[in-house]
Amino acid sequence: MGEVDASFIQAPEQRPNPSIIDEAQGIPVIDLSPIHQHLQNDTTVSDPSAIEAVVKEVGRACKEWGFFQVINHGVPLNLKNGVEDVSRRFFSQSLEEKKKVARDQTSVPGYFDAEHTKNIRDWKEGLDFLAKDPTPIPISGDDDDDRTTQWTNRYPQNPPDLRGTVLEYIEEMEKLSFKLLELIALSLGLEPRRFHGYYLKDQCSFIRFNHYPACPWPDQALGVGPHKDPSALTILAAVDEVEGLEVRRKSDQQWIRVKPTPQAFIINIGDVVQVWSNDEYMGAEHRVVVNSEKERFSIPFFFSPAHNTMIEPTKELINEKNPAKYKPYNFGKFLVKRKDGNYQKQNVDNIQISHFRLP
C-alpha cells in the first residue's frame, strides 16, 4: 500500500472494542441444496416442505441478524478459487503497476487505496469492476438534474486471465443473487420474482477485490469502519476463511466476529431490502478489523438495481396498521451522492437512508 498517512488512523474513541466476542454465535448457516435440486427437477426432493423451510430460515436470518451464510450455493468451487487466485496475484504487484488502473472522482471502477485517494480512512486497498459494462449512472445527485453518464471498467493487463475470470464469476454471482432475492420475497409473502423488474434493463451491481495488509498498529485502525451497505444484497467470499468481519448484533448491540464456514458465502441485506421490506428486515452494521500478523483478502459482490429505480416500501406490505416508513428515493442519485461524499473531507457524513425516513 505504500507509506501510510497517519491521518487515516482512527481516533481512540473509534478503535475496535477489545472486548469483542470472538465468534459469531447464532449467525445462521443455510443449506441451499433444496433450491438447486428443485430447479433441476431432482426427484430426490419429494417433500416441498424442504424449500419452505429454507424460505423460513432466510426470513428469520434477515429479521434477527441481517446476516447469514449459505452453503451448497451452486457456485462452482473451481471458479470461486480462481477469482480468489487472480485477486491475490493482482495485489502482489507493485503499487505503480496497480495504479495504472486507478479510479478517480469521475470514474469509480478501478484500483484505490487509502494513500492515493485521500478519502478512505480504511486500512485496505481495493479493485472494483462493474457487473454491467458500461453502467448508466446520473451525472449528479441533484433531484432536478436528469443527465446521465456511463461508468466503464478498467481491466489491468496483469494477471492476463483476470478479466475472463471476473466476467464468469459475476455471471454466477448474479444467478445466486436472484435466487436469494426470490427467497427473500417469498419470506415476505410476495411473489418470488417481485423484485426482478428492477434489474431487467440495467443494474448498478459491482464486484470488489479487497486486500487488508498486515497492520503495524492493529489497535489504532480498522480495515473498514462501521457501515451499512446501500445495495440490496452483498455476497461475500472470505478468502482462506481468514477472520476479520464483525457484525453488530441487534439483540444487544455487541460486536460479533464472524467465523467463516469453509466454501460458504456470507450474505447481508442492504439498505434497498430494508426499505423494500419497510423495516421488516433491517441491515446490520458491520466493520472489518485488521491485525499485525495476517493479511486478509475478501471479494464482495454488491447486488444493486438500475440507476433509475425509485426505492420505496413495497406496496403489498403497506396498510393502515403498517404505513410506509420511507419516502421514495432514486437509487442512482443516492449512489452518486455517496460517491461524492467519499471525496469530501473526512468529517462530512455520507448520505444515509435515514435521511428518507418518514416521521
Query: pLDDT for 151-162, tens place per residue?
Result: 999 999 999 999
Higher-confidence residue of 25 and 101: namely 101
The CA-atom distances, in angstroms, between 249 and each of 26, 78, 145, 283 are: 10, 33, 39, 11
pLDDT in tens, 64-77: 999 999 999 999 99
Q: Which residues contact 85 (CB under 8 A, 6 or more apart)?
A: none
Q: What is the DSSP letter of 247?
A: E
Nearest Cα residue to 302 out of 135, 115, 161: 135
Q: What is the pLDDT of residue 282?
A: 93
16-21: average pLDDT: 40
Q: What is the pLDDT of residue 123?
A: 86
How many residues are present in the chain? 359
Domains of the chain, by residue range, sit at 6-356
Whole-number percent of the chain with pLDDT over 90: 66
Rounded-to-integer distance, Cα 174 and Cα 131, Å: 9
193-212: average pLDDT: 96
Crossing angle for the helix pair 162-187 and 49-64, to the nearest 10 degrees: 100
Rounded-to-integer distance, Cα 352 and Cα 358, Å: 13
pLDDT above 70 (res 327): yes
Nearest Cα residue to 114 out of 234, 212, 226: 212
Rounded-to-integer distance, Cα 200 and Cα 95, Å: 38
* Average pLDDT value for the chain: 86
177-190: average pLDDT: 97
CA atoms within a 13 Å half-sphere pointing along the CA-CB vector of 214:
4
Rounded-to-integer distance, Cα 154 and Cα 203, Å: 18
Confidence of residue 40 (pLDDT cuts 50, 70, 90): low
> Any idea which of 17-26, 45-54, 58-67 has the lowest mean pLDDT?
17-26
pLDDT above 70 (res 347): no
pLDDT above 80 (res 341): no
328-332: average pLDDT: 97
pLDDT above 50 (res 118): no
Rounded-to-integer distance, Cα 341 and Cα 318, Å: 32
pLDDT above 50 (res 117): no
Confidence of residue 39 (pLDDT cuts 50, 70, 90): low
DSSP characters for 106-149? S--SEEEEHHHHSS--SS-EEEEEESSSSEEEES-S-TT---EE
Q: Are strands 245-248 and 135-138 parallel, antiparallel or unpaired?
A: unpaired
Q: Which residues contact 222 (CB under 8 A, 6 or more apart)?
A: 10, 14, 15, 16, 121, 122, 123, 287, 288, 289, 290
What is the arrangement of strands in the sheet containing 245-248, beginning at the earlier edge strand?
Answer: 224-227, 286-288, 245-248, 255-257
The yes or no reply on domain 6-356 and CATH 3.40.50.300 is no
Higher-confidence residue of 107 and 358: namely 358
Confidence of residue 241 (pLDDT cuts 50, 70, 90): confident
